[in-house]
């Protein structure tokens, strides 16, 4: 197993710089533009881009620029799709299991306006659907662009820097204890990121399910309780 991990790490560290940047930027763009943030791990890939920068494999400034631009452009594409296709996008069967969360996101957008675009950047599901919902809501593009750019710059800077700091720890361990220990640290960091993402997704899903269950119970109680039925007189 350690030999396999060492091989994988070596391959990643020797991948062409352009390929690393293309993959990182492409995944971040697709997550935002094609409404698949709950499937494609854009945030995790951006963090790993920061790790690669910390190891000296790619320039940190290049990773930051690629992630921020991909985030802003991806959101812009999602906005235009929502504006031109409207409800036909979110009406797709692929979104049936997320219907309640989409309704909640629309309500959040209605209450917060442009600020919802910025705040949505920090949650995988909202990051995927908020641009299209903003376009559907007929939000003025200049308003969307301001909040989208602010969110893209802030989010991109935070996640890439987090990866950079994690990677610095990897580099220190490799210097002190050798490549094997460094690989172990790298695996722990990646696993921790994946576990954190999965737990957050489950917590969000559980919250949505709990809310739906409460509404169903209230509806059932209202239909079965005789005291709530209208009197014959």
Summarize pLDDT for 187-212 with one digit per residue, the tens: 555 556 555 666 666 666 666 555 55
Give the model confidence (pLDDT) of 159-174 as tens digits.
898 888 877 665 554 4
| Eight-state DSSP code of residue 38 | T
Element (H, E) at 82: helix 60-85
Residue 140 CB neighbours (<10 A): 10
Q: Whole-angstrom Cα distance, residue 112 to residue 47?
A: 28
Walking along the chain (233 residues) 10 residues at a time, the average pLDDT comes out as 46 75 89 68 81 86 96 92 77 69 82 89 85 88 94 92 77 49 53 61 61 51 46 41
**Encoded tokens for 223:** 């239909």
Q: Whole-angstrom Cα distance, residue 179 to residue 203?
A: 36
Query: What number of CA atoms fall less than 13 Å from residue 95's CA on the CB side?
Result: 18
Classify residue 215 as exposed, middle or buried by CB count within 10 Å of its CB (0-12, 13-18, 19+).
exposed
**Encoded tokens for 133:** 């919902």
8 A C-beta contact, residue 27 and residue 34: no
pLDDT of residue 230: 42
| pTM summary value | 0.68
| Eight-state DSSP code of residue 226 | G
8 A C-beta contact, residue 61 and residue 176: no
Residue 21 CB neighbours (<10 A): 20
pLDDT of residue 189: 58
Across the chain, where does the E strand assignment appear? none
pLDDT of residue 67: 95
pLDDT of residue 143: 93
């Amino acid at each position: 197993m350690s030999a396999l991990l060492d091989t994988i790490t070596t391959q990643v560290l020797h991948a062409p710089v352009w390929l690393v940047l293309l993959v990182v930027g492409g995944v971040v763009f697709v997550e935002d533009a094609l409404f698949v943030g709950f499937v494609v791990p854009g945030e995790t890939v951006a963090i790993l881009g920061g790790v690669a920068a910390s190891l000296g494999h790619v320039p940190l400034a290049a990773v930051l620029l690629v992630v921020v631009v991909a985030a802003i452009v991806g959101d812009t594409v999602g906005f235009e799709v929502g504006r031109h296709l409207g409800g036909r996008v979110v009406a797709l069967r692929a979104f049936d299991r997320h219907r309640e969360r989409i309704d909640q996101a629309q309500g959040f957008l209605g209450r917060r306006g442009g600020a919802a675009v910025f705040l949505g950047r920090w949650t995988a599901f909202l990051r995927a659907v908020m641009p299209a919902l903003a376009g559907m809501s007929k939000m003025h593009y200049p308003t969307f662009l301001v909040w989208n750019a602010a969110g893209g710059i802030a989010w991109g800077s935070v996640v890439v820097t987090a990866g950079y700091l994690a990677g610095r720890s990897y580099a220190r361990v490799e210097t002190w204890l050798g490549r094997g220990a460094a690989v172990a640290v790298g695996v722990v960091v990646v696993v921790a990121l994946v576990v954190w993402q999965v737990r957050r997704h489950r917590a969000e899903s559980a919250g949505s399910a709990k809310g739906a269950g409460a509404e169903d119970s209230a509806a059932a109680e209202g239909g079965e309780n005789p005291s709530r039925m209208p009197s014959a007189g």
